[in-house]
Structure 1
Amino acid sequence: MVEIREVLRAWLAGAGLRTVGERAGVDRKTARRYVQAAEAAGLVRDAGPGAVTDELVGAVVAAVRPSRPNGHGPAWEALAGHEEQIRAWVTGTGTGTGKAGRALNLVKVHELLARQGCQVPYRTLHRFATERCGYRVKATTVRVADGEPGVECQIDFAYMGTITDAETGRDRKVHALIFTAVYSRHMFVWLTYTQTLAAVIAGCEMAWAFFGGVFKVLIPDNMKPVVTAAEPVNPRFSAGWLDYAAHAGFATDAARVRTPTDYPENSVIPSFTRSALSLAGFVGPYSG
């Protein structure tokens, strides 16, 4: 519903479908489907933002995402009839597998299904094979001790999208500097247009005020303003960052290189969406 509302608001403001999709975080085809469904429900281009009511959004949702009694669409149901064969292909068991009983890759499986008349989107096949057929089963997650409260804090940038600058009228990228307390998973988000050292330090200062103190150890995800050379054993930090760390009184422990699974900050993005930026009228850093 948030996506639909953002698409319609941008479309009513006169933006093209490509721009509308970029602002709402969807592709152009999806934006077109939302707009067409809204027009069928009676929305006209010269209507104001007030025309995007809950009733209109509900009508668009009903049109573009019809009810699915079992939670899945017809493509999923078509794959259910081939479940055993797909499992044999992706696990390397049974007949029709690769040489020496090796498992087939999913692209080949998609091709073989098409030959049998089962035409489904590749993404649906990927979800089905992962959830039902044992394709690339994830390893067991081992929980790591979180340490003591107030000791470690992870920081990283996340791209939030674009927003129109009220002063210049041009679109600008917005980044979120996310602080995650390792023990409590409590988060603080600082919005900024840049990813410079000055922006990182400004975010840190607001974070310390928010948390009520400075953590003993900061774990940055190899961001360039902080880590000038990422290395598994001896990472190099920028001189400006080391000066600030000495001033604030914390130590820096860089994250493991190319290991995004170590970071929990992605959980904040769904709850702090681009629509939140629009509602806040963001024209500069925002904390909350």
Structure 2
Amino acid sequence: MTKLKNVLRCYAMGMGIKGISGAFELSRNTVRKYVRAYQDSGLPLEKVLAMSDEHLHEMFVGSKSRVREPSHRRAELDALLPEYASLLSRKGVTVRELFEEYERQHPDGYRHANFGILLRRYMLQTKVIGHVEHYAGDQMYIDFAGNRLEVTDAVTSEVKRVEVFVAILPCSHYSYCEAVWSQRKEDLIGACQNALHFYGGAPMAIVPDNLKSAVTRSDRNKPVINEEFAAFAEHYGCAVYPARVRHPKDKALVENAVKLMYRSVYADIEGLTFHDLVSLNNAIRVSLDKFNDRRMASRKHSPRQLFEQTEAGYLRPLPAIGYQMKERKTVTVMRNSYVTLLKHHYSVPKEYIGKRVDIVYDAETLDIFHGLRHVATHHRDDTPYGYTQKPSHNLPGRHGSYEKDIDEIFERAASIDNIVLVYLKEVAVHKKYPPIAFRSCRGILSLEKKFGLERLVAACACASQARLYGYQDVLDILEKGDDADFLPSADDCDTGGEAPVLPRHKNIRGRDYFSKSIISNNLKKDNNGNK
């Protein structure tokens, strides 16, 4: 009635019918109706304005009802609409099938177009949708789009279909979109984490659909949340509040956001070819930024502006360390003291061979536990059939490359004498095959323990001069004493010094042995002659 009173005031001030109609956005016929009723009443304006709303409604609008009694065929259809609405909710039932059934029973009834309009109008009246108030920083809706995108392998040209993750903050309508390989919990958690970092904060709750990677068992009162997804939400201080089963209106905004992604992001990248997920997500981000900067219908702001003004300050800060998803697997330590995870082998100490251990791993590291005892930590390596070993485990056998090990032998030889280093390098060249070269060089250096450092250097010099390259050659030189001329004391012998003392060995008898043997044989002959 406020508009009616303003119309009367303007008329009393001398404004015309056309001016009043434009000022109050009323049809001219409506304005004329109000003016005629005012003129017919003969009452002064002050008295009319002082009337109650009910009196004004009765005076200017009239008490006659414009509602007409429904026709006979409308009454027949109205009686059938509840049953038709119930049937239409069943899977596979269409409006066309219901109309054909109605037409058989009532050939003089409504046609298909009017039948559909009246049926849908009835369903809208019986299924009233309540308004949901969205608060800043309260919830984040997440969902996967029904239409997937494609990534083409650059080498094999194989086309892989990827899922599209969509998130939205309902208060500001600020949206996020990302392509992931699948709907598994690893990809879902990673996408949710990226969405939180995109928003720069965490809401109070995450509202997912009832997919298995987020909800293990759906229940109206107490749904069972996936343990890994619940741990992720707890890390960021969020609650998990799943939507009800078969109630998409519980998260209608994200359902609508998916449709908007079809019209914006999907349309922008249509016809383009992407060879990896990174390039696809870069293209999605460019299109997403344009979408969030676009002014919303019937509003003065874009989603980004509305987010920065009303919601950014209400999101809780993110933790300094991101969430690392960990998984657990129980395995038995093999006889070679290794455990296997995703076709890769990791070492453990020998005392755990044959025992059951737990592997707790994430994308970067894995920890091995025996009961409550921590056994080992390794950097994760997904190379199939590879081996990762720690030197501290002291496992039997060789580990590492021969090239690296022989370089270490060369470093040790250089610390002894340059003669040994040059000789070992010549041995490595002549042996050609790295394992044989490594074994020969290692054996030559081991002779130091038995014959001493000086004799080893002299034997290498002797073998190099004789062009003999191998472990057995150096050992023969040492056992026969052929290295005597290359010892530092050989110079002293040439100047009248003492002769070098040969080492004692069971195969080196020496002069004294043979002298004693000759004397013993002569004594035996003398005794026989006396007899």
Normalised to the residue count of structure 2, the TM-score between the two structures is: 0.32
3-state SS of 2:211 partner: coil
Shift of 1:256: 2.1
Within-5 A mapping of 1:225-264: 225-263=213-251, 264=253
Amino acid at match of 1:110: E
Q: Which has the higher helix share?
A: 2
Shift of 1:231: 1.2
Contact 1:90 1:103 in 2 (8 A): no
Q: In the alignment, what sits opposite 1:201?
A: 189
Shift in CA distance, 207/85, structure 1 to aligned 2, threshold 3 Å = farther
Contact 1:86 1:129 in 2 (8 A): no
Q: Which has the higher contact order (CA 8 A, sep 6+)?
A: 1
Query: What are the Cα deviations for residues 143-192 of structure 1, in whole angstroms up to 9, with x where unaligned?
Result: 12323x11211112221245362445344444322212132222212222
What runs of 5+ residues in structure 2 fail to find an aligned partner? 1-70, 88-94, 289-531
Alpha-carbon RMSD: 3.6
What runs of 5+ residues in structure 1 fail to find an aligned partner? 1-83
Q: In the alignment, what sits opposite 2:267?
A: 275
Partners of 1:170 and 1:117 lie apart in 2 by: 59
Contact 2:183 2:213 in 1 (8 A): yes
Contact 1:90 1:135 in 2 (8 A): no
Indicate yes or no: 2:213 matched with 1:217.
no
Contact 2:202 2:238 in 1 (8 A): yes
Partners of 1:86 and 1:193 lie apart in 2 by: 56
Shift of 1:224: 1.1
3-state SS of 1:189 partner: strand
Partners of 1:257 and 1:228 lie apart in 2 by: 13
Pick one of 87, 100, 109 that aligns with 1:110.
Answer: 100
Q: In the alignment, what sits opposite 1:158?
A: 145
Shift in CA distance, 112/205, structure 1 to aligned 2, threshold 3 Å = closer
Partners of 2:180 and 2:114 lie apart in 1 by: 39
Normalised to the residue count of structure 1, the TM-score between the two structures is: 0.55
Partners of 2:115 and 2:152 lie apart in 1 by: 40
3-state SS of 2:244 partner: coil
Partners of 1:238 and 1:103 lie apart in 2 by: 40
Amino acid at match of 1:109: F
Contact 1:163 1:174 in 2 (8 A): yes
Shift of 1:195: 0.1
Sequence identity (%): 19
Partners of 1:205 and 1:220 lie apart in 2 by: 14
Within-5 A mapping of 1:75-154: 87-92=74-79, 107-113=97-103, 127-130=116-119, 134=122, 137-147=125-135, 149-154=136-141
Amino acid at match of 2:200: G
Partners of 1:267 and 1:255 lie apart in 2 by: 15
Within-5 A mapping of 1:168-207: 168-207=156-195
Segment of structure 1 superposing worse, 271-280 or 182-191:
271-280
3-state SS of 1:175 partner: strand
Task: Number of aligned residue pairs: give it.
Answer: 195
